[in-house]
Amino acid sequence: MTEHKITTPLTDEIIGKLKAGDTVFITGSIYTARDTAHKKMIEALESGKGLPFDIKGQIIYYVGPSPAKPGAVIGSAGPTTSGRMDPYTPRLIKEGLRGMIGKGLRSKDVVDAMIQYGAVYFAAVGGAAALISKTITGAEPIAYDDLGPESVKRLEVKDFPVIVVIDKHGNNLYEIGKKEYAGKYSEVRG
């Protein structure tokens, strides 16, 4: 497992270096969107309107941050369950999305699109939402204001901590971990 410091947008070179299990610190712009925003983005694509931001090489963080306290850029910003975005994600990857941050498992369709187009899935630690928000230096709503906290925002981040869960080859940390655990403790189970 390796540690990387990367800057957005993601390039094929950056994605090629990331392996399942690596720790990554992201600096630059990332975008927020949850399931309703994803649905609106797909509807926009299907109607020929395009997306509210240039998705090529970008990372979407699955989060609906809480309101900012006075003097803060953003409130608590912990990840939401990624599987809720799975119906929409393959299309966004095809359009150029190259990174996603969330928690939990992804569908086979999402993993297949990641392998086909070269994308990576990161996990953020859910229990560290208040700490994660300290790495966010700017937050600007850019689309779907009617969704409130779930609107699409551009976040500026500095050393935003994540772990590579699924790399561009489909290597999945959740599956690797289960196999290692089963092998390590097979003697104990007898």
Q: Is the pLDDT of residue 190 over 60?
A: no
User: Are 164 and 20 in contact, with CB atoms under 8 Å apart?
Assistant: yes
Residue ranges per structural domain of the chain = 3-189
pLDDT of residue 14: 97
Rounded to whole angstroms, how far apart are CA atoms 172 and 186?
21
* Comparison of pLDDT for 78 and 165, the residue scoring more: 165
* Comparison of pLDDT for 134 and 128, the residue scoring more: 134
What confidence category does residue 69 fall into, taking pLDDT thresholds of 50, 70 and 90? confident
Bridge partners (DSSP) listed for residue 59: 99
pLDDT of residue 178: 58
pLDDT of residue 72: 86
Whether CATH 3.20.130.10 fits 3-189: yes
Q: Looking at residues 119-132, what average pLDDT do you find?
A: 84
Residue with tokens 């369709």: 109
Q: Looking at residues 156-165, what average pLDDT do you find?
A: 96
Mean pLDDT computed over every residue of the chain: 91
Strands 23-32 vs 3-7: parallel, antiparallel or unpaired: parallel
**And the tokens for 167?**
């790399």
The predicted-structure confidence for 177-188, as pLDDT tens digits, reads as follows 555 655 555 555
Q: Looking at residues 40-69, what average pLDDT do you find?
A: 94
* Comparison of pLDDT for 176 and 178, the residue scoring more: 176
Residue with tokens 């906290």: 149
Question: What positions carry a catalytic annotation?
Answer: 38
pLDDT of residue 29: 98
Q: Looking at residues 10-25, what average pLDDT do you find?
A: 97
User: Are 144 and 52 in contact, with CB atoms under 8 Å apart?
Assistant: yes
Q: What is the pTM of this model?
A: 0.91
The predicted-structure confidence for 84-121, as pLDDT tens digits, reads as follows 999 999 999 999 999 999 999 999 999 999 999 999 99
